[in-house]
């Protein structure tokens, strides 16, 4: 199967590739994730119980409390951060969170990544050039 290439804007530079974990929903940081385990703990979330550690997290955006960046910052220190972030909506929470998680991050893509990418797809995130390359599973 061919590759799908999405073009967007750099949030944080760097280039990595890995397996995608996708949700069309927004994610809460504080109260929504467990920064020790690298999992989603929001009981009302479609990814409740899923592990994002080491995956390319593809999601709508950030929501909830201002503890967002602090939680993902802790996840990085605990080596359970996502491998990269690809999202639709830029907010202060998500921009600060991506910066302190220090993983490649891209937004403002020419197609909705939460529709194009499915959980389990192989995704290369080139933060420096704002490019996301998707290989369907």
Partner 1 sequence: MYLRDDEKAMLDGKEGLAVQKAMEMLVRYGEALGAEKLVDTNNVGGYMIADKVQMERFGSFNKVFSELSIDSDTAIEFPKVKVGSCQFETPMDPDYYHLAGKTKEDYDLYQKNMEFLANMGIQLMCTCTPYQVGNVPVKGEHCAWMESSAVVYINSVLGARTNCEGRESTTSAMLTGKIPYWGYHIPENRLGTHLVEVECDIKTAKDWGLLGYYVGKIVQDKVPVINNIKHNPAMDMIKHFGAAAASAGGIEMYHIPGITAEANSLQDAFGKNKPRELITFGKKEKEETYEILNSIGKKTEVDFVMLGCPHYSIDQIWNLCKMIEGKKVKDGVNFWVFAAQSIKDLAVRNGFEKIINDFGGLLMRDCCPALGRFKPEGSTVMATDSAKQGHYLPNMTGIEAWYGSTQECVDAAVTGRWGGKL
- Least Å distance between CB 137 and partner 1? 29
The reply to whether 90 sits near partner 1 by the rule CB under 8 A is yes
The C-alpha angle with vertex 82 and arms to 76 and 83, in degrees rounded to 5, equals: 105
Tokens of 67: 């503890």
The reply to whether 86 sits near partner 1 by the rule CB under 8 A is no
The reply to whether 9 sits near partner 1 by the rule CB under 8 A is yes
The reply to whether 116 sits near partner 1 by the rule CB under 8 A is no
Closest of 62, 68, 85, 82 to residue 30, by C-alpha? 68
- Least Å distance between CB 88 and partner 1? 11
C-beta atoms surrounding 62 within 10 Å: 26
Positions marked catalytic? 65
What is the phi/psi pair of residue 123, to 5°?
Answer: -130, 130
Tokens of 86: 């690809």
The reply to whether 23 sits near partner 1 by the rule CB under 8 A is no
Q: Which residues bind partner 1 (CB under 8 A)?
A: 9, 11-12, 26, 31-32, 41-44, 61-70, 73-74, 77, 89-93, 95-100, 105
């Amino acid at each position: 199967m061919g590759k799908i290439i999405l073009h967007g804007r750099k949030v944080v530079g760097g280039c990595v590739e890995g397996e995608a974990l996708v949700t069309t929903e927004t994610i809460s940081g504080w109260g929504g994730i467990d920064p020790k385990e690298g999992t989603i703990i929001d009981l009302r979330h479609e990814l409740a119980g899923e592990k994002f550690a080491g995956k390319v997290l593809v999601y709508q955006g950030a929501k909830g409390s201002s503890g967002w960046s602090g939680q993902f910052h802790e996840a990085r220190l605990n080596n359970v951060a996502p491998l990269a972030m690809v999202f639709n909506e830029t907010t202060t929470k998500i921009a600060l969170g991506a910066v302190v998680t220090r993983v490649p991050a891209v937004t403002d893509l020419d197609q909705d990544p939460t529709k194009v990418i499915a959980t389990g797809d192989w995704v290369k995130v080139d933060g420096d050039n704002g490019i996301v390359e998707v290989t369907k599973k």
